[in-house]
Structure 1
């Protein structure tokens, strides 16, 4: 895990450091196992509110439609076309959210999905816990970039000089979506004592 005062931003930074960069806009492919569908609804709704558009497998798409969330339905990889592999090939998807069912067919689909997503660097989120942390991080990042980000009381109460020196809270004036990732040692070198 990376460091930040907010769990969501720390999680986003850890994903960035591991090469799993979550995009701040674009299309998300969603395929959820039955036991995760209801837990994911508020998270998926938040992603739509953040401006993402959705592709989903037919079962997930139907469930989201019944919850008032618009998606574009595609087939599971092993069940027909168009499917996720077509979306990856056509550069139509920038992020994959996939919680896998058990079984041979699902495993084969998962292997194909991961092997095709790794080359173009499409991030894959595979658990509801990771999706929850990612959504929290995206919302925190949006609040930070819009100037609504809360400043930490303890470390920043003595003026703005501390804020400017913290790598985890720095904003580049030309790229408000950029976060610096640093080691624990680098972080402590920049913190005012």
Structure 2
């Protein structure tokens, strides 16, 4: 049934493996965004991370994309729902709390939706072209550090005696430092960071 449904919808189904950027790069990026947002919400109390999931979801869906210029809510629903802050500001300023109903006729609403979607798709295509042009340069930019420079170190490369992973779990700090570079062996490699 699923194969036939995917065929009728024109969807190409491909098997994937975890952490494979060619197959699920968008999902991995989205998961990283959610993880980073949860990390910022939970702070030093990572055990109650699930209490923040609804806030993270709303925030992601109500964040304007730099590429498209729209929020996900706006593209899917045609408008952004009112947040708690919107309701508070409305009450504080004494504005009428009733929202204006609809955008006119269904035909107008559909045409506005199609125009927004077309605009978003065009902006996404331009952004992809820009990203492809800049991809190589970003990955191969020379970074030179000198002895005494302060750097942050990815926490996954640190030993347990430097950072206690058990107290934070997956939502612990991603970076550690600032740590000084104490010695250089080769012009392009650094070694031994001390706390």
TM-score (norm 2): 0.23
Of structures 1 and 2, the one with the larger relative CO (CA 8 A, separation 6+) is: 1
Structure with max Cα Rg: 2
TM-score (norm 1): 0.23
